[in-house]
Amino acid sequence: MAKKTTVLDNRCPNCGAKAVFNPKTGKWSCKHCGSELTLEEMKKHKNASNEENNKSVAEENVDTYDEYISYNCPDCGAEIITDAQTSATFCVYCGNTAILKNKLSGKFAPSEIIPFKKTEDDAKEAFRNIAKGRPLVPKSFNAEENIEKIRGIYIPFWFHDYNIDGQLVFSGKTFDHWRSGDTSYTRTNIYEITREGSLKFDKVPIDGSTRFDNDLMNTIQPYDYKELVPYNHAYLSGFLAERYDVEEKDTEEEMEKNVMDVTKNTFLNSAPAYSAKVIKTNTLAVKEHTFEYVLLPVYMVNVKYMGKMYTFAMNGQTGEFIGNIPVNKKKAVIIGLIMFVSLFALFLVAFYIIYKTGGRV
């Protein structure tokens, strides 16, 4: 049985219609009356963005993953059921955005968010351009029905901050080469090198959802973290959103290994004159570690072709995109045959010319 949840949305204070976040202007737009509203103006009214609704985010507690959630659309009244990881969705009947308040509460409350800067039209254009210069992309892949499925989604990420401190002692070699008469000589010099210091890592990201492929999320990075802003429900208007289902502690081991490897290599590479470096003593250790939970913008669409799923994803801030692109095998075979026949025909013509001229040009 689905659990009932509180639904929030953003309404235009001037006419009561839907107000949706506009990535181009950074304001909330009302298509009904044409109003353009700032976040401060939105906060003054009773909607998803006001202080009361966002203050309660940190006070409530939601501690389960394995439940289904139902809500009644505030526009048409339809009952919609979604799963536990979805924190903002659309009503399939009227298209209204539904922000599920208690899915963004307690430990699931993001601290910061990077709002979308690229529009849905930008993502659709990038998707259309995938086929340009790629004759083997199936026509059905770029069909308008697939393009219309592109949606903006806020993906949960963990940011890790580390301060690594310690000492690395390693041996290194240099080589002297000289020649005396007909004899060549090489002398190997072995040194002990010590490097001591600390490295600080800020906002190292890792995807907090099992629904999204980590390699895919890594490829569309980096984001400009200067544009992080305090989280507010209002930014979800017009977009989908997920909450994390991978706990911070489950990402810590992988992240710590990565930053320790980077630190070790940085210390080793600080002695470029030496080769064949061998670590003798390593006292590098984590002196400080903090983390935070944030939402980052991504446009995505999954397209099924020949029984396999292909994913297109675009960074909703920078426009960087990646796509798994299928190949039309039938078209590839036809093009291959045409090329083979063409080359074979050229070979026959060249052979005929050589035969008729007796090898003389």
pLDDT at 291 over 80: yes
Domain count, the chain: 2
Confidence grade of residue 141 (pLDDT, cut at 50, 70, 90): confident
Which residues fall within 8 angstroms of residue 93, CB to CB, at 6 or more apart? 73, 76, 78
- Write down the pLDDT at residue 294: 96
Q: Is the pLDDT of residue 1 over 60?
A: no
- Name which of 5-14, 265-274, 335-344 the model is least confident about: 335-344
User: Is the same domain home to 299 and 333?
Assistant: no
CA distances from 184 to 180, 181, 233 (A): 6, 8, 74
Same domain, 313 and 211: yes
Q: What was the pLDDT predicted at 233?
A: 87
Q: Are residues 282 and 359 located together in one domain of the fold?
A: no
* pLDDT-based confidence at residue 215 (cuts at 50, 70, 90): confident
CA distances from 237 to 27, 125, 288 (A): 11, 22, 36
What SS3 string covers 93-132? CCCCEEEEHHHHCHHHCCCEECCCCCCHHHHHHHHHHCCC
pLDDT tens sequence across 164-197: 999 999 999 999 999 998 899 999 999 999 999 9
> Are 313 and 253 contained in the same domain?
yes
Any domain includes 198: yes
Q: Residue 58: its pLDDT value, please?
A: 47
Residues 334 and 238 in one domain: no
Does residue 76 or residue 149 have the better pLDDT? Answer: 149
Helices (DSSP H) in the chain: which residue ranges? 39-43, 51-55, 120-129, 144-147, 214-219, 248-269, 329-357
Residues 342 and 236 in one domain: no
Q: Do 291 and 237 lie in a common domain?
A: yes
- Among 103-117, 121-135, 336-350, the range scoring the smallest mean pLDDT is 336-350
What pLDDT is attached to residue 59?
47
pTM over 0.85: no
Mind listing the pLDDT tens digit for each residue in 323-352?
A: 777 665 666 556 556 666 677 677 766 666
Q: How confident is the model at residue 359 (pLDDT cuts 50, 70, 90)?
A: low
Task: Looking at the structure, tell me whether residues 333 and 206 fall in a common domain.
Answer: no
Q: Does residue 223 form part of some domain?
A: yes
* Domain co-membership, 303 together with 236: yes
Domain that holds residue 181: 156-323
Cis peptide before 23 (omega within 30 of 0): no
Q: Do residues 180 and 315 both lie within one domain? A: yes
pLDDT tens digits along 36-56: 988 888 888 777 777 777 765
What percent of the chain has a predicted confidence (pLDDT) above 70?
77
